[in-house]
């Protein structure tokens, strides 16, 4: 018995892929995070999903890949090819405003500003996601994951993650 190919448009495939959440920050979808680069259906029915990790070697990519296979299989697309693309490198500029809002509500300070490829940057104040004070300090360049830094608020004394501006 031959396999029936379900045909879908680009928006439908993107919407399916966008259901997958980041295993490290489950309030963010891969679309919010900006790592979902695109989807397309090939002539043989295979759905190709292109993602870019937040940094090379990101351990979440294996889980995200498996979750993509599951989402598409459940929607009737058994043939899925997840393509990891490292160039151009992911940037926090790719995060959606909705994703940044979700980070703040989750207790992680979202990235501020834009990527700085090749430019000299100055340190900026990071707003505390709990009390919104700018009286904060960096405790460690690396927080719970390599893409976050650990900060502390000098006013409410709470520690918090800051999603670093990466470009």
Show the CA angle centred on residue 65, arms to residues 73 and 83, nearest 5°. 100
Residue 131, domain member (yes or no): yes
| Structure confidence by residue, pLDDT tens digits, 108-153 | 988 876 554 444 445 568 889 999 998 999 888 877 777 788 899 9
CB environment 7-29: b (16+ within 10 A), e (fewer):
ebeeeebbebbebbbbebbeebb
Residue 1, domain member (yes or no): no
**Whole-structure pTM over 0.95, yes or no?**
no
Answer with the one of 84, 113, 134 that is the final residue of a domain.
84
Residues 76 and 102 occupy one common structural domain: no
| Structure confidence by residue, pLDDT tens digits, 18-77 | 999 999 999 999 999 999 999 999 999 999 999 999 887 888 999 999 999 999 999 999
| Structure confidence by residue, pLDDT tens digits, 69-109 | 999 999 999 999 999 999 998 988 999 999 999 999 999 98
Residues 64 and 102 occupy one common structural domain: no
Contact (CB, 8 A) for 53 and 82: no
The secondary structure of residue 101, as a DSSP letter, is H
Number of separate domains in the chain: 2
Query: Which domain, by its residues, includes 71?
Result: 10-84
| pLDDT computed for residue 115 by the predictor | 52
Domain CATH code at residue 75: 3.30.300.130
Residue 2, domain member (yes or no): no
Residue closest to 109 by CA, chosen among 86, 69, 137: 137
């Amino acid at each position: 018995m031959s396999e029936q190919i379900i045909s879908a448009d680009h928006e439908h495939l993107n919407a399916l892929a966008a259901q997958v959440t980041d295993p490290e920050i489950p309030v963010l979808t891969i679309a919010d995070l900006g790592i979902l680069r695109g989807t397309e259906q090939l002539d043989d029915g295979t759905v190709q999903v292109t993602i870019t990790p937040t940094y090379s070697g990101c351990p979440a990519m294996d889980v995200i890949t498996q979750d993509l296979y599951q989402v598409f299989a459940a929607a009737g697309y058994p043939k899925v090819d997840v393509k990891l693309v490292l160039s151009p490198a992911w940037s926090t500029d790719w995060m959606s405003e909705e994703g940044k809002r979700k980070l703040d509500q989750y207790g992680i300070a979202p990235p501020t500003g834009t990527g700085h490829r090749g430019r000299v940057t100055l340190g900026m104040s990071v707003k505390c996601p709990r009390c919104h004070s700018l009286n904060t300090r960096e405790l460690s360049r690396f927080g719970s994951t390599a893409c976050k830094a650990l900060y502390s608020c000098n006013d409410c004394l709470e520690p918090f993650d800051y999603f670093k501006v990466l470009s």
